[in-house]
Structure 1
Amino acid sequence: MTERPGPAGDATGGPVPTTPVCYRHPNRETYVRCTRCDRPICPECMREASVGHQCPECVNEGRRSVRPARTAFGGGAAGRRGLVTRTLIALNVLMMVLSIVSARSGTAVAGGGLGGLMGDSTPLTDWGSVLGLARFTDGSIGGVADGQWYRLVTAMFLHYGVLHLLLNMWALWVLGRDLEALLGRVRFLALYLVAGLGGNVAAYLFTEPNRSTAGASTAIFGLFAAVFVIMRRLGRDTSAIVPILVINLVFTFTVPSISVPGHLGGLVVGALMGLVLAYAPRVRRSVFQAAGTAVILVALLGLVIVRTAMLTG
């Protein structure tokens, strides 16, 4: 009787020992294992963990199970990058450029306004500013009361001259980044747009129908008010905000051609939005914030409808 030999390389007849290979790259040998699932991983697949290394799948699963960081008022932490603030500034600058381009005719430039650079109106500001109801030089009638409701939004992105633009964008840069970091992108954008709309609605209500107004200052005043409300909610010192706000109010009432209703309207609506965003209860906070914002928008809509009926009735 002859004896059968064991497998090659194994004199005892047991299984041949093999080197572990990466579960994602079978051609790579490794002795490192994922601390979470214990699968072998090569250096390319290693992800540093608090203890040892993990594989890519375990890292992704861990990220899905961790709730994203939120601000004190329910916003996302991504607002710290100031993307919305930068985008709003870029949009305002772009509209200024388009406004200057729209005044490229020789008459507009020769009139002293340098195509809108020095503060004169341009075809674009004539198209997008808040205007109640007026008859134009060509005999046509236009304004918010004539159905041009878009003016209540477009006006907050248009400016009369570069100085007007620079002052507002400087204020937006200073206020916007901090507010966006506190509120998050979506809530900050809602604050800006609703406050700007509120100021434009106030200008529509209390300005002569044939007088046009424009500028981001309606939204900027809303940001001032919201900063004050939010700082109070957080228990922080507001002594540095009050003098700046008072100075801006003094300019509002003393400098000619400034829209007093627009500034005050933005201030009031910005304060209301600040209350909605800062004092919403923690339970179902997003629902309360959305509902409060909707109530403000409905109220503004009602005021626009009443004013329109007065001008067209």
Structure 2
Amino acid sequence: MDQPGSPQEPQHAHGHDGLPGCHRHPDRPTGIRCTRCERPICPECMVSASVGFQCPDCVRTGGGAGPAPRASAPRTIAGGAVTADPRLITKILLGLNVALFLAVLASEQSGFDLVGRLDMLGLAVDPSRYQWVGVAHGEWYRLLTAVFLHQQFAHIGFNMLSLWWLGPPLEAALGRLRFTALYLLSGLGGSALSYLLEAQNQPSLGASGAIFGLLGATAVLMRRLRYDMRPVLILLVLNLAFTFLWPNIAWQAHVGGLVVGAAVAFGMVHAPRERRALVHAGACAVVLLAIVAVVWVRTLQLTG
């Protein structure tokens, strides 16, 4: 583990635009400093204080005035609890995706159509069962199960690499509960827009909607922390270009996830500290209601 520098001599591992590196993670440029010792701190090291942010060392020692009071629990920039493993939820999500992918491979060997039971489908006839299937037929779970479903190695490989790259910094900055809500709502947003705009019998699947939600949230967080936006904007443009130029990609899921992820993250990182929990819950509730409204409208179109 890296040893922190002294408050009088902060480390200056300069990164983007000459920003100093975090005193605990020198490879991470940051424009935020601890309000007590003035050392640079990255999102993972930020602890919300009454004024600004403090580093974990100052929270632990009370800024040199003895142990900090029990009420001064470390908090992330969004008000979540600082945890020992900021990758736990990311690992769980990755494990769920891989487990379901293995289940899909096993089902294909046994002849059971697991994908056909769990992918995002508006309304169609299943010839094997001679009945209507899909979200409009009451199979609402498809909006969520499709987010964890993959059929090809390249598909799951790209999405899981993106999750492993984007997930941990967001999980560390938002906290576990908020990060989980962000991921699930982004995935649902992608499914909802696919349900609204795709042909009713066009199936779709994959975690891409949720991944684009994490990408949108990353852009919002970097803007909030005043980081150099060029890397994430370039990545976003490249991904959107790939979305619209490559065949057989559900652009609706990508766009839906991106919009929802950015909206949820904006509410989380810009909420006033005194009403933070209320604003966070309200932002998630509003986004969820919007998703429900989209699904309801499309269902009326298909069944009305």
Q: Does 1:129 align with 2:119?
A: yes
Q: Give the drift of 1:216.
A: 0.4
- Spell out, residue by residue over 1:65-118, the C-alpha distance to the aligned partner (whole angstroms, 9 max, x if none): 34320011101111753100011001100000000111114xx6xxxxxxxxxx
Aligned partners of 1:80 and 1:184 also within 8 Å = no
Does 2:281 match 1:293? no
Shift of 1:136: 1.1
| Deviation (angstroms), 1:252 | 0.4
Judge conservation of contact 1:224–1:267 (CA < 8 Å) in 2.
yes
For the structure 1 residues 79 and 172, does the alpha-carbon distance in structure 2 shift closer, same or farther, using more than 3 Å as the test? farther
Counterpart of 1:97, as a letter, is L
The C-alpha deviation readout for 1:171-215, integer Å capped at 9, x for no partner, is 000000100010010111110000110000000000000010000
Q: How does 1:77-92 map to 2 (within 5 A)?
A: 77-78=82-83, 80-92=85-97
Q: Secondary structure of the residue that 2:109 maps to in structure 1?
A: coil
What TM-score comes out, normalization by structure 2 length? 0.76
3-state SS of 1:130 partner: coil
Q: 2:152 aligns with which of 158, 161, 167?
A: 161
Residue type at the aligned position of 2:70: S
Aligned partner of 1:148 in structure 2 is: 139
- Letter matched to residue 250 of structure 1: A
Shift of 1:147: 0.2
Residue pairs, 1:72-111, within 5 angstroms = 72-78=77-83, 80-105=85-110
* d(CA) in 1 for partners of 2:70, 2:259: 41
Secondary structure in 2 aligned to 1:141? strand
Aligned to 2:174: 183
Q: Is the 8 A contact 2:166 2:214 kept in 1?
A: yes
Q: Residues 186 and 79 from structure 1, CA distance in 2 versus in 1: closer, same or farther, beyond 3 angstroms?
A: farther
Equivalent-residue separation in structure 2 for 1:79 and 1:312 (angstroms): 49
| Aligned position for 2:229 | 238
- Range 70-79 or range 301-310, more displaced: 70-79
Q: How far 1:235 sits from its partner (Å)? A: 1.2
- Checking the alignment, whether the CA contact within 8 Å between 1:79 and 1:181 is kept in structure 2 is no
Backbone CA RMSD of aligned residues: 1.7
> Residue in 2 aligned with 1:202?
193
Indicate the SS of the match to 1:209: coil
User: Does 2:264 match 1:282?
Assistant: no
Q: Deviations over 1:266-306 (max 9, x none)?
A: 11111111111111111120111001110110111011111
8 Å contact kept, 2:125–2:132: yes
Q: What is the number of residues matched between the two proteins?
A: 239
Write the distance in 2 (CA, Å) between the matches of 1:229 and 1:267. 11
Aligned residue number for residue 18 of structure 1:
none
* Counterpart residue number, 1:22: none
Bigger Rg, structure 1 or 2: 1
Give the AA of the match of 1:297.
L
TM-score of the pair, normalised by structure 1: 0.74
Contact 2:104 2:151 in 1 (8 A): no
- How has the CA–CA distance of structure 1 residues 79 and 171 changed in structure 2, closer, same or farther, with 3 Å as cutoff? farther
Q: Which residue of 2 aligns with 1:174?
A: 165
Deviation at 1:63, TM superposition (A): 8.8
Instruction: Indicate if the aligned counterparts of 1:80 and 1:180 stay in contact, CA closer than 8 A.
Output: no
Question: Which residue of 2 is the match for residue 222 of structure 1?
Answer: 213
Aligned-partner residue type, residue 263 of structure 2: L
Q: Classify the secondary structure of the residue corresponding to 1:210.
A: coil
Written as runs of structure 1 = structure 2, the 5 A alignment for 1:231-270 is 231-270=222-261
Change (3 A) 1:79 1:290: farther
Give structure 1 regions of 4+ aligned residues with deviation exceeding 2 angstroms. Answer: 62-67
Distance 2:100 2:234 in 1: 31
Displacement of 1:263 in angstroms is: 0.5
How do 1:293-312 residues align onto structure 2 when only pairs under 5 Å count? 293-312=284-303
- State the identity as a percent: 44
Unmatched tracts of structure 2, length 5 or more:
1-59, 62-66
8 Å Cα contact 2:213-2:260 kept in structure 1: yes
Describe the SS at the equivalent of 2:183.
helix
CA contact (8 A) 1:79 1:182 kept: no
